[in-house]
């Protein structure tokens, strides 16, 4: 009698797709380097590296949506659902940590990397402060 594989009925975990991230100009530029080292499989851009410094939020938003990219920003306007409605964007991460140093920004992003599966980042508004992470998503 042939041996049956015990893995036949088990499903293997599906690896998460690499993310695309756009760091706004108010996010310290060294955070882009740090994040690329932490997640080399992701496509990570900083606004200044793309020559987009000084561009309006609407320009950055349209660019990010066209590239299916999640925006990471300290700009509170991006958390305003009147202008950036849930379900209509690819994802926004609003940083509310203080002070807005490289170290505090990296700590916040490290908590996010550790605490929230990357699949939950897409199409969500994620607000990170010094103590917690809140996720808003259409159901």
**Structural domains of the chain sorted by starting position, each given as residue range(s) with its CATH number in brackets:** 20-136 (3.40.50)
The answer for 68, left when phi > 0, alpha when psi is -120 to 50, beta otherwise, is: left
Positive or negative torsion for Cα 132, 61, 77, 72: positive
Looking at residue 138, its pLDDT comes to 81
Look up residue 116 and give its two tokens.
């929230």
Over residues 37-66, the pLDDT tens digits come to 999 999 999 999 999 999 999 999 999 999
At 85-138, the pLDDT tens digits run 998 999 999 999 999 999 999 999 999 999 999 999 999 999 999 999 999 988
Q: How far apart are CA 129 and CA 36, in angstroms?
A: 22
């Amino acid at each position: 009698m042939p041996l049956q594989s015990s893995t036949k009925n088990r499903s293997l975990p599906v690896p998460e797709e690499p993310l695309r991230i756009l760091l706004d100009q108010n996010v310290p530029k060294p955070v882009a380097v740090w994040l690329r080292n932490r997640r080399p499989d992701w496509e990570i851009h900083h606004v200044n590296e793309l020559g987009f410094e000084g561009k309006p939020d609407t320009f950055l938003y349209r660019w990010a949506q066209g590239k299916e990219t999640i925006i990471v920003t300290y700009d509170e306007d991006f958390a305003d659902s009147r202008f950036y409605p849930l379900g209509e964007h690819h994802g926004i991460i609003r940083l509310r940590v203080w002070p807005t140093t490289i170290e505090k920004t990296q700590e916040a992003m490290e908590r996010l990397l550790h605490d929230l599966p990357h699949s939950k980042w897409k199409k969500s508004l994620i607000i990170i402060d010094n103590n917690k992470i809140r996720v808003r998503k259409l159901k």
